[in-house]
Amino acid sequence: MSHPKVIANWKMNGSKEAIQIWLEGFANEINPTAQKECLFCPPVIYLETAKTVIRDKDLNLSLGAQNLDIDSLHSQTGAVSASMLKDVGCEFVIIGHSERRTLFNEDNLLLRTKVISALEGNLAVVFCVGETEKEDSTSKDLIRKQLEALRDFCKPKIVIAYEPLWAIGTGEIPSGSYLNDMHSFIKDELKYILDKEQDFSVYYGGSINAENANDLMNLDCVDGLLVGGASLDSSSFVQIINKIYS
């Protein structure tokens, strides 16, 4: 399975109506070839609505979840498993987003277990890493530790999203040379952790918009984009896609 290159992460936003309107705009403005490069991740409660519209409009975009809960022998009130996500049409799941790490205290051990649950449930994984502070000399050490959660997994169903926290929702993006350095570091580190000559795809996320998306995507080291705020409005998301794929 190939990963779509542009991910819309709606976080805790939207409504049934908003999903309908967004997907209609998407259907009207984006051609089927470019649609195939998009992954839509609405809140879990709206996955079924999204799946229905995607099917009814015969759209080519993929559906993903923003999180999953681990498979466990114990009852887990309120939890959502990989097989449930699969059941409502998800092919992908985001794991390790910085907001999950900080607001929900998700640590490396838990994230590793989530990746296992996702892969066993036949979901492909977008695994997020990123440092907290700008120009911090410990950034690479932190990311190295975050990547440890993937030790011994293999490539085909995992992509990495590099999202420095200082760039998320701030309007600030890293320079091209900084991104090249960090993405190359992540790719090299994964080869070391996995002891394999696998080339992982590394996406970038943080303050992407219609003005900077194309330049970011044109960087050699950037294999895809994870878009938060600018994905909520269908016209700004359409602009991002059309600038990249027209």
- Catalog residues that contact ligand PGA under the rule CB under 6 A: 9, 163, 168-169, 205-208, 226-230
Q: Are 178 and 121 in contact (CB under 8 A)?
A: no
Give whichever of 123 and 208 is closer to ligand PGA, judged by the CB atom: 208
Q: Are 188 and 176 in contact (CB under 8 A)?
A: no
**CA-wise closest residue to 1 among 56, 54, 39:** 39
Task: Please give the Cα distance from 172 to 170 (Å, whole number).
Answer: 5
Give whichever of 226 and 238 is closer to ligand PGA, judged by the CB atom: 226
Q: Are 98 and 163 in contact (CB under 8 A)?
A: yes
Give whichever of 168 and 186 is closer to ligand PGA, judged by the CB atom: 168
Q: Measured from the CB of residue 178, what is the shortest distance to ligand PGA in angstroms?
A: 16
Q: Are 42 and 34 in contact (CB under 8 A)?
A: no
Q: Are 89 and 63 in contact (CB under 8 A)?
A: yes
Residues in the chain: 246
Catalytic residue among 37, 131, 163, 189: 163
Catalytic residue among 3, 37, 91, 97: 97
Q: Measured from the CB of residue 110, what is the shortest distance to ligand PGA in angstroms?
A: 19
Q: Is 8 exposed, middle or buried (0-12, 13-18, 19+ CB in 10 A)?
A: buried
Q: Measured from the CB of residue 228, what is the shortest distance to ligand PGA in angstroms?
A: 2
- 163 is a catalytic site residue: yes
- 74 is a catalytic site residue: no
Q: Measured from the CB of residue 183, what is the shortest distance to ligand PGA in angstroms?
A: 16
Q: Measured from the CB of residue 92, what is the shortest distance to ligand PGA in angstroms?
A: 14
Give whichever of 100 and 112 is closer to ligand PGA, judged by the CB atom: 100
Q: Are 110 and 70 in contact (CB under 8 A)?
A: yes
Angle (CA) 42-206-149 rounded to 5° is: 80
Give whichever of 64 and 206 is closer to ligand PGA, judged by the CB atom: 206
113 Cβ contact partners less than 8 Å away, ≥ 6 residues apart: 70
**C-beta nearest to ligand PGA: residue:** 228
Dihedral sign computed on CA atoms, order 194, 195, 198, 203: positive
What residues are labeled active site?
Answer: 97, 163
